Amino acid sequence: MSTPEQTEASGRLPAHPAVPPRLARFYDKLRAPGYGGDYNPEQWGPQVHDEDIRLMREAGVSLVTLGIFGWARSEPVPGEYDFGWLDGHMDRLAGAGIAVSLATMTASPPPWLPERHPETLPVLQDGTTLYPGSRQHWCPSSPVYREHATRLVAELARHYADHPALALWHIGNEFGCHISRHCHCPVSTEAFRRWLRERYGTVDALNDAWSTDFWSQRYTGFEQILTPRTAPSFRNPIQQLDYQRFCSDELLACYLAEREVLDRITPGTPVTTNFVPVAKTLDLFSWAPHLDVVSYDSYPDPHDASAFQRTAFSYDVMRGLRGGQPWLLLEQAPSAVNWRRRNGRKPSGRMRLDSWQAVAHGADAVLFFQWRASRGGAEKFHSAMVPHGGPDTRIHREVAALGAELAGHADLLGSVPARAEVALLLDWPNWWALELDAHPADLDMLGTALAHHKPFHDASVATDVVPVTADLAPYKLLVVPNLYSVSTAAAARLAAYVHGGGTLVMSFFSGITDEHDRVHLGGYPAPFRELLGVRVEEFDPGADGSWAEVIHLEGAEAVESFDSGGPSVTRHSHGAGTAWYLGTRPRPAAMRELMDRVRAEAGVGPVLPDLPEGTYARTRVTADGTPVHVLLTEATGEVAVRRG
Ligand code: GAL
Ligand code: ZN
């Protein structure tokens, strides 16, 4: 049986208000930022297992994720559990002083589940069934899947509750990473109706919110409502938007069902799940409160010149999810992945640079997928900490060198990432709404967010990524890209922030619809007209991908104008603060110039003065109050760590 958690906080627990005390079990098992990877020993025999432990020790491995795809071995026959295959690995790892993030094994059910219960298989919008044979072939709404999953989790938790290697639970794996996240089967359809009933109460309220008088869509009962399936033309936008909300909630319910079991049986062991590279799928701000620590998988494309800044942005998102609490990089590739069309390798030094980038942005662990390259299966050409060529390889030597290096920075473990002066607003429901079809042009939330993040990144100005509900007062500057769909209440919060003295930069096509994707009437952008001192009369997207608006000044001054004459960038004093509006999508150089000006006015500077162009820095503060600056230079791969 499990023992309840020791409540005394660990000396290494980050001094951050959002850090739950149960993380002590995790931090107590580490001496420096965690280092390691996904460990899949079930793919190998005893000889390899012995070598694994020896090589892990030599490479400075302190943390591994175990058992992600272990369901088929652990429950070979329905209801008969056998963790014998795993016991020896847990014991050996404990003996070597390596902590385990133990997966709940529910990401991929064994073949007998769909064999006995074909109704657990997900169905696409066109009716196609997704069959077993790869992974994640389960319907997020299936009570049968959830029942089998939670039974397994209970057995597993009871079995390992007091195991000395257990540091952290890793629920499922990358929730929503595959197309099975959007299920349209009869069970999901029923679940969607239940979700809608709860949200709207009556079918008339739904008709109103969904604007169903358009195109004769008026419903007379919830039983008529379907998930948004393949249809002759554009589907109802709010039906699509609510379905996205529902899908995120259904996966969260799967996570919570497992979490509830773990909380009951092992209340002293912290819980996480690894998020996929910043994606549209899940509303991560609604998930994050249910994790004890945020975990992330990062796969920058070595062929993509913008990958470094994209990654910086994604790390800012991860740090922002729990209000600045350190997070864990649970997966990255030591070199190439195998799932792009062309899979570039990371040149020498790049893996080290990428890893330090994560630490600079607040990561308390650097892990890889995976420890040893698989011999068979779909991922055999994915790089690993131990390549097919064994330890005498460039990649393994670099892996071992980084392990030794990170072990020398013990004080970084649990150090608190310094708060930024700039906040960038991100809102998943807005992301979903913005990218719906039948808009003036195709819009790209991530692209726009990255374009607004880049001028700060390039100038080594730190940015926090925050939700609409965040406490904005501590920030000098708030950047709000494409906030197309916004409630009146949220809009009022932004206005209050500026009124109280903040500086805000808002960009085009913001404040257009409410949370039901109904246009805010009264002239665009109605909820922000007074704040911005402008009225937008028309949108004018160009054939070249440009965006223009016909803007009338209502108190704001024109800072820049379109060639055709009207204002393109405006500035407005509102209360004690200033609101800028970009009715356009400037090119990168112009964007940089503009943001340099905005932040100079707002009194926002870089993390460190006098950094050369191309080098950026982030700061963490250790337990004894020492600031540690990590300086990163992409072009040369240089990493410098400065204390004090
Ligand atoms: C992740 C996944 C891992 C592995 C990896 C390969 O999405 O969690 O199991 O498939 O990708 O890059
Ligand atoms: Zn389903």
- 283-308 b/e with 16+ CB inside 10 Å = b? bbbebbeebbbbbbbbbbbbeeeebb
Chosen CATH of 422-602 out of 3.30.56.10, 3.40.50.9100, 3.40.50.880, 3.30.70.1430: 3.40.50.880
Backbone angles phi, psi at 269, to 5 degrees: -105, 125
Is 194:219 a contact under the CB 8 Å cutoff?
no
For the chain, give every domain's residue range.
Answer: 25-181+251-415, 422-602
Residue 149 has pLDDT above 70, yes or no: yes
Which residue, by CA, sits nearest to atom 3 of ligand 1? 369
DSSP, collapsed to helix, strand or coil, labels residue 456 as helix
- What residues flank ion ligand 2 with Cβ within 5 A? 139, 141, 183, 185, 187-188
Distance from C-alpha of 15 to C-alpha of 38, rounded to nearest angstrom: 28
167 Ramachandran zone, left/alpha/beta (phi>0; psi -120 to 50): alpha
Strand-strand pairing, 503-507 and 477-480:
parallel
Choosing from 177, 354, 369, 374 the residue with most ligand 1 atoms within 8 A of its CB, the one to mutate for a pocket test is 369
Instruction: Please say if the pLDDT value at position 92 is more than 50.
Output: yes
Alpha-carbon Rg for the chain, nearest whole angstrom, is: 25
Ligand 1 atom 4, closest CA: 369
Q: Measure the CA–CA gap between 319 and 462, rounded to whole angstroms.
A: 12
> What pLDDT is recorded for position 154?
99
pLDDT per residue as tens digits for the range 527-570: 999 999 999 999 999 999 999 999 999 999 999 999 989 999 99
In the chain, % of residues over pLDDT 90: 97
pLDDT tens digit sequence for 309-333: 999 999 999 999 999 999 999 999 9
Cβ of 174 less than 6 Å from ligand 1: yes
Six-digit token string for 508: 């085009």
Q: Ligand 1 centre from 31 Cα, in Å?
A: 27
Measure 84 CA to ligand 2 centroid, in angstroms: 33
Give dist(CA 620, CA 410) in Å, integer: 13
- Determine which one of 75, 155, 174, 549 is catalytic: 174
Q: Does residue 34 contact residue 366 with C-beta atoms inside 8 Å?
A: yes
Of 3.40.50.300, 3.40.250.10, 3.20.20.80, 3.20.20.70, the CATH number of 25-181+251-415 is: 3.20.20.80
Say how far apart CA 587 and CA 577 lie, in whole Å.
26
58 is catalytic: no
Give catalytic status of residue 174 as yes or no. yes
Beta bridge partners of 619: 629
Give yes or no for residue 331 CB within 6 A of ligand 1: yes
- Cross-strand bridge partners of residue 34: 365
- Residue 299 alpha carbon, nearest atom of ligand 1: 12
From the list 627, 15, 59, the residue with the least C-alpha distance to 366 is: 59
Band of residue 11 on the pLDDT scale cut at 50, 70, 90: confident
Write down the pLDDT at residue 9: 56
Hey, what amino acid is at 594?
A: L
pLDDT tens track for 334-359? 999 999 999 999 999 999 999 999 99
Q: Does residue 173's CB lie within 6 angstroms of at least one atom of ligand 1? A: yes
Nearest-10 Cα torsion for 590, 595, 598, 600: -110
For atom 12 of ligand 1, the residue with the nearest CA is: 337
pLDDT at 84: 98
Residue nearest to atom 2 of ligand 1 (CA): 174
pLDDT for 307 equals: 98
* Contact predicate 459/588, CB 8 Å: no
Chain-centre distance for alpha carbon 624: 30
Kindly indicate the confidence band of residue 5, based on its pLDDT and cuts at 50, 70 and 90.
very low
Does the pLDDT at position 6 exceed 80?
Answer: no
For residue 601, pLDDT beyond 80: yes
Beta strands 638-643 and 503-507 are: unpaired
Ligand nearest to the CA of 334: 1
Assigned token pair, 338? 């195998």
* Ligand 1 lined by 170 (C-beta under 6 Å): no
The two tokens of residue 498 are 């500026």
Count of CB atoms within 10 A of residue 519's CB? 11
Same CATH topology for 25-181+251-415 and 422-602?
no
Residue of 250, 331, 421, 634 with catalytic role = 331
pTM equals: 0.97
Predicted local confidence at residue 2, as pLDDT: 34
Token pair in block for residue 552? 């009338």
With a cut of 70, say whether residue 7 has pLDDT above it. Answer: no
Q: What is the pLDDT of residues 211-232, one digit of tens each?
A: 999 999 999 999 999 999 999 9
pLDDT value, residue 3? 36
Q: Say yes or no: CB of residue 337 within 6 Å of ligand 1.
A: yes
Predicted local distance difference test score (pLDDT) of residue 1: 31
Distance of alpha carbon 145 from alpha carbon 138, whole angstroms: 7
Report residue 4's pLDDT band, with 50, 70 and 90 as the boundaries: very low
